[in-house]
Structure 1
Amino acid sequence: MKRSLMLLMTLGIVLACEKSETGNQDADRERLAEMRQEIVDLINAVPCENAEDWRPEALGSKACGGPQEYVPYPEAADQSGELLDLIKEYTQFEAEYNKKYGVISDCMYVTSPTGVRCVDGKPAFFHAETTPPVVTE
C-alpha cells in the first residue's frame, strides 16, 4: 500500500511539473508575441521620409544561431535608443526561450538587406545585386 501511495505521489509531482513547464512556455511565447508586436507598432509609427535615416536591424534568434528576421530600424527617430533596446531585449529573450525549451529551427541563414528605401512613406528593404553583370563584346 505504501509503495502504491509513493508511486502515485511521484507520478503526481512529475505530471504537475510537466504541466507547469508547458504553462510557462505558453506564457513566454505570448510575451515574445507581445514584444514583437510592440516593436512593429513602434516602427510603423515612424513615417519613412529619408531612407538614410533607416537601416536593417536583426530581430530575434534562431535556435541554431543567427537572427529570425530583419526589421527596418528608424535610427534618426530613436534618439533615446528605446526601440533599439527593445529589439535587443526581444532577441535575448528569444535566445533564452530557445535554450530553455529546446526549440529547434530550420537553421537557414537570413541575409541582411543591403539597405532601406522609402516607398509611399513606409520603409522597404532592398538587396544589392550579388551577381556581377555579364559583359559581352
Structure 2
Amino acid sequence: MLTNSCNWDGLDKLRVGRFGEYFAKMAFTRAGYDVYSPEVDDRAIDFVIRTCGAEMRYLEIQVKTVRLARSSYVFMRKKHFPISPDRYLALVTLKQGEEPELYLIPSTVWADPAAPFVSRDYEGKKSDPEYGLTASAKNLNQLGTYRFTERFELAA
C-alpha cells in the first residue's frame, strides 16, 4: 500500500534514525517482549529486551536504519559492539513507497564474517576498528534468514 507514511525521502538523517529505533521497539513489543530503553545511549545500546522463554535472558539491541534508494554502509565500533550471544543488530530498511522491514542480526555473525558482513581493524590508521554491513536492495536476499518475522522467536 503506497501512502505518504512510506515517503522516506522527506525525512532527514536524524528522523530516519529515530523512526528506526521506535519501529524496532514496537516490533519487539508487538511480538510480546518486554522492551527497556536506557536513559542515556553512551554504550551503543539502543534498548534491551527481556525474553520470556524457558530461560529468561536480556538481549542488547543496537539499531541502524538505512534508506534503500542507494547502497548504505552501517557500522558498529568494536569497542561498543562486542561479539556476544546476547548482542544484536536490529537493521531497519526503508524502501521508498514500501513499509519498513526489520532484520535481527546476531553479533556472532561477525566472528567469521562473509559478505555483506565485514570486520575492519584499520591497523595503523585513525579510525577505530569496526564491524560493518553493506545494505542495498540487491543484497537483501542475503539477509533473508535474519528477517525479524522469521527470526524473533529464536532469541527466546
TM band (smaller chain): under 0.3
Query: Larger % of helix: which?
Result: 1
Q: Which has the higher contact order (CA 8 A, sep 6+)?
A: 1
Q: Max radius of gyration: which structure?
A: 1
